[in-house]
């Protein structure tokens, strides 16, 4: 009797509801994630979609867009455009290739700079270690433009470096430093070092020192230990840093325009020009979409290969891929 009573009361409490909410909705989670999702949807995804659409529209004669499908924006870069005004020009691909090359060199150089430093910092006593980490983030406190102008002052013909070298008697005439690819690389490495350092440091700090001892103990010298133990175990940090440096470098336009002048254009400059000066938004959008799709393709390739390499034996693949993903972010 008792049981039927409670059952019917349950029934009663359910009935008056106007609509039933699915049982598995977590209101708390929704409340926490909803605003972020909405924000990203409106301010990140929407502009991206607009740009993707623009890249397939015809540019208006005086700026703006004409609402008709137009593939020649991409054609100008990739080779099929042959219109009266807008033709394929190999220069765009060249700039694209240069951007890739510069971005890769920047990754390599920042890695070269950061790896030993990160190792050294991770072995310091905690207080000095934290101080070093603070120093790494110090540049963020000053404006990027100000810091890059400082490099203009250093690198220009009458600049600090040339004066120093000529006072030392190393050179007679000022050497050409600014407005070269070297200057662009110096600037990019300079601004990108913290982005490489932090993920690298995170994975090097986690490295168990006993594993290095174990490797020596088993007969491996320094080089073999580095290659067989240290490098593979810090690979997540290396890849994380490389991605964090590569992507912003590829699209960077401030450094090449300040330190590269008109001579060392990168793809970012080209996009900037199309939007601001040429007022050809569809072409600018097409350039931007092209970079983005190439980067995305590379990233997916990376994720696919690491997943594949990690998964073959047994169930251990699961926790480890998680490790990988952590290294990525």
Q: Which stretch binds other proteins (CB under 8 A): 27-35, 82-90, 220-228, 297-305?
A: 220-228
From 103-111, 222-230, 265-273, 282-290, give the range in contact with other proteins by CB under 8 A: 222-230
Of 94 and 322, which CB lies nearer to other proteins in the complex structure?
A: 322
Q: Exposure string (b/e) for 87-119, b if CB count within 10 Å is 16 or more?
A: ebeeebeebbebbbebbebbbebbbebbbebbb
Interface with other proteins in residues 130-169 (CB under 8 A): none
Q: Which residue of 69, 210, 276, 277 would you call a contact of other proteins, by CB under 8 A? A: 210
Q: What burial class does residue 278 get, using C-beta atoms within 10 Å of its C-beta: 0-12 exposed, 13-18 middle, 19+ buried?
A: middle
Q: Verify binding: residue 203, other proteins, rule CB under 8 A.
A: no
CA angle 99–201–250, rounded 5-degree value: 10
- Closest distance to other proteins from the beta carbon of 227 (Å): 10
Scanning 4-12, 89-97, 240-248, 310-318 for contacts with other proteins by CB under 8 A, the matching segment is 310-318
Task: Report CA torsion sign: 77, 79, 81, 85.
Answer: positive
Return the residue of 32, 176, 232, 301 that touches other proteins, per CB under 8 A. 232
Nearest to 90 by CA among 102, 79, 74: 79
The verdict on 320 binding other proteins (CB under 8 A) reads yes
Of 26 and 127, nearer to other proteins (C-beta) is 127
Q: Which of 220, 278, 292, 325 binds other proteins (CB under 8 A)?
A: 220
Q: What would the DSSP string read from start to end of 22-83?
A: PTT--HHHHHHHHHHHHHHIIIIIHHHHHHHHHTTEEEPBTBSEEEEE-THHHHHHHS--B-
Binding residue for other proteins (CB under 8 A) from 219, 262, 276, 277?
Answer: 219
Q: DSSP secondary structure string, 177-227?
A: -TTSHHHHHHHHHHHHHHHHHHHHHHHHHHS-HHHHHHHHHTT--HHHHII
The CB-of-320 to other proteins minimum distance in angstroms stands at 7
124 is a site residue for other proteins (CB under 8 A): no
For the record, the structure tokens of 51 come out as 């740009």
126 near other proteins, judged by CB under 8 A: no
Which of residues 89 and 208 has its CB atom nearest to other proteins in the complex? 208
Size of the site for other proteins (CB under 8 A): 23
128 counts as binding other proteins under rule CB under 8 A: no
Q: Is 224 in the site for other proteins (CB under 8 A)?
A: yes
Establish if 204 lies at the interface with other proteins (CB under 8 A): no
List 50, 144, 214, 297, residue binding other proteins (CB under 8 A): 214
Residues 230, 236, 239: CA angle, nearest 5 degrees: 110
For 213, other C-beta atoms within 10 Å of its C-beta total 11
Q: Two tokens at 318?
A: 């699961």
What is the binding site for other proteins (CB under 8 A)?
208, 210-211, 213-221, 224, 228-229, 232-233, 313-316, 319-320
């Amino acid at each position: 009797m008792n049981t039927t009573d409670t059952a019917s009361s349950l029934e009663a409490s359910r009935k008056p509801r106007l609509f039933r909410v699915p049982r598995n909705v977590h209101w708390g989670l929704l409340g926490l994630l909803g605003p972020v999702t909405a924000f990203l949807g409106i301010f990140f995804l929407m502009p991206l979609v607009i740009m993707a659409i623009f890249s397939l529209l015809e540019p208006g004669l005086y700026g703006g867009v004409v609402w008709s499908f137009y593939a020649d924006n991409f054609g100008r870069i990739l080779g099929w455009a042959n219109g009266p005004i807008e033709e394929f020009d190999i220069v765009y691909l060249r700039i694209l290739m240069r951007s890739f090359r510069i971005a890769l060199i920047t990754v390599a150089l920042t890695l070269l700079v950061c790896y030993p430093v990160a190792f050294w910092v991770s072995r310091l006593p905690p207080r000095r270690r934290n101080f070093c980490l603070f120093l790494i983030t110090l540049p963020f406190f000053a404006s990027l433009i100000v810091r890059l102008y400082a490099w203009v002052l250093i690198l220009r013909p009458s600049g600090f470096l040339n004066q120093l070298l000529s006072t030392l008697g190393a050179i007679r005439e000022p050497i050409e430093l600014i407005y070269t690819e070297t200057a662009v690389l110096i600037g990019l490495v300079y601004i990108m070092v913290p982005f490489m350092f932090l993920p690298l440091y995170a994975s090097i700090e986690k490295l168990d020192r006993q594993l290095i001892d174990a490797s020596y103990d088993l007969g491996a010298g320094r080089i073999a230990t580095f290659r067989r133990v240290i490098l593979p175990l810090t690979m997540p940090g290396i890849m994380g840093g490389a991605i964090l440096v590569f992507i912003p470098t590829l699209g960077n336009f401030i450094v090449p325009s300040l330190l590269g002048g008109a001579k060392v254009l990168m793809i970012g400059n080209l996009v900037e020009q199309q939007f601001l000066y040429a007022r050809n938004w569809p072409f600018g959008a097409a350039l931007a979409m092209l970079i983005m799709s190439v980067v995305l393709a590379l990233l997916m390739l990376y994720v696919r290969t690491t997943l594949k390499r990690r998964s073959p034996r047994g169930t251990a693949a699961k926790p480890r891929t998680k490790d990988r993903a952590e290294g990525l972010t």
